[in-house]
């Protein structure tokens, strides 16, 4: 069942998905193991919430596989890992919006994630950000506001704007590419 490099062949993945959807406990253990690894690797995954996160990931994986959304462009393991990461990010956004997570810079969990530049470095960083934001379209600024300031998930942004979630995803990808290009242009 395991191909070269410890990965599954596409046929083995197809069979694993079939077994998983039929409720095979051994198939569930394999996917649950991948979920567990993804949760352990995530810096933003609060250990005390792992049971809730695990259940949400399992539900999304089941929903996506039942709906035939796995297209095989990545391995099944990578697909499950990405779903896990997305669940953790969505969880963090919801917790932040509901005031369940503080933004105390002294909090060691945030120290590795947030860096607040001070003095001249902070002024230059804010100036650069403002210059970049002025170059963006109103739609791109709105997407950034909803995702990064209000901490909306892509699904929530789609509901808010009345557009498909895939449009939000491609818009954010386009926006991120544009931000990187603008930063390169302004700093070279």
- Can you give the residue ranges of every domain in the chain? 4-97, 117-187
Per the model's pLDDT, the better-predicted residue between 132 and 74 turns out to be 74
CATH fold for domain 117-187: Arc Repressor Mutant, subunit A (1.10.10)
Read off the pLDDT of residues 163-181 as tens digits, 9 standing for 90 and up. 898 998 888 888 888 777 8
Q: Is the pLDDT of residue 12 over 80?
A: yes
- CATH 1.10.1740.10 matches 4-97: yes
Q: Which residues of 97-126 are buried (b: 16+ CB within 10 A; e: fewer)?
A: eeeebeeeeeeeebeeeeeeeeeeeeeeee
Helix (H) or strand (E) holding 144: helix 138-144
Please write the tens of the pLDDT for every residue from 56-92: 899 999 998 988 889 888 899 999 998 988 888 777 7
Chain segment 90-131, per-residue pLDDT in tens: 777 776 666 654 444 444 443 333 344 556 766 777 777 777
Domains 4-97 and 117-187 share a fold: no
Whether 46 has a pLDDT exceeding 70, the answer reads: no
pLDDT tier, 45 (very low <50, low <70, confident <90, very high otherwise): low
pTM of the model: 0.54
Contacts 24+ apart (CB under 8 A), 15-21: 16/76, 17/65, 17/70, 17/76, 20/62, 20/65, 21/62, 21/65, 21/66
At residue 142, does pLDDT exceed 80?
Answer: yes
Q: Which residues contact 117 (CB under 8 A, 6 or more apart)?
A: 124, 125
Q: Quote the CA–CA distance of 13 and 33 in Å, as a whole number.
A: 15
């Amino acid at each position: 069942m395991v191909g070269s490099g410890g990965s599954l062949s596409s046929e083995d993945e197809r069979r694993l998905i079939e077994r998983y959807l039929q409720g095979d406990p051994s198939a569930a253990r394999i996917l649950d193991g991948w979920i567990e690894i993804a949760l352990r690797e995530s810096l933003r995954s609060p250990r005390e919430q792992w049971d809730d996160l695990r259940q949400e990931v399992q539900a999304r994986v089941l929903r996506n596989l039942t709906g035939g959304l796995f297209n095989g462009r990545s391995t099944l393991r990578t697909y499950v890992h990405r779903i896990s990461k997305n669940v953790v990010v969505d969880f963090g956004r919801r917790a932040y919006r509901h005031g369940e997570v503080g933004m105390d810079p002294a909090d060691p969990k945030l120290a590795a994630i947030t860096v607040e530049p001070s003095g001249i470095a902070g002024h230059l960083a804010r100036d650069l950000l403002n210059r970049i934001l002025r170059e963006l379209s109103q739609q791109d600024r709105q997407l950034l506001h909803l995702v990064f300031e209000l901490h909306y998930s892509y699904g929530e942004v789609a509901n808010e704007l009345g557009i498909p979630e895939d449009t939000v995803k491609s818009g954010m990808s386009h926006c991120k590419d544009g931000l990187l290009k603008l930063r390169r242009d302004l700093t070279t």
